[in-house]
Structure 1
């Protein structure tokens, strides 16, 4: 019984802390996290395309959040928005530069996607 209560307590603490971290996502912090290129230099045109793809993603996420969809539908639409960003970056940056950026930012993007799925986005 003591072990069950301890495990339940840890689960509740984890869920509360995850939700608390995820709820801190707003438009500015989300855009900032997406804008990190992890040391990959982009010229002005590439940087503009990178910023546009990120802004389109953020706008799509906030529009999606207003729709009040069931969690499974919301998660699949979030995945679709991130895939759309990847396609946009691939075409605008070129295959080589996109591959470099993806290698450096993939871990951060996966964590961010997980946070977005848990979060209620706020302006």
Structure 2
């Protein structure tokens, strides 16, 4: 019998500042590659996070995952950690890691992955702007 998989989604928002910069590069090279995103005074985004969890529906609860529990994980692990923060200066995760949308999505994935059942598939979609977003991991 084929298992029935269902995906559930939870959205969240956080606002954060960052600067894209490679310390080993010259100022000119950083500006050439990152342009305005290399502003030494930082710049911010209103990030929209979409967390997708896929798994079998529990026969008793009817849930793939209790969305209240997922929301609590997102609030505690992501929003409380990153909202209204300077990612470069205020977070351990980005002290040495360039806070690109790609890297932020990977970090968010790892933080949430550690808190949910390993039988569930997880995917992160992070909107940096209305038109720019990343997904991790990539669907196969």
TM-score scaled by length of structure 1: 0.39
Higher strand share: 2
TM-score scaled by length of structure 2: 0.36
RCO higher in structure (CA 8 A, sep ≥6) = 1
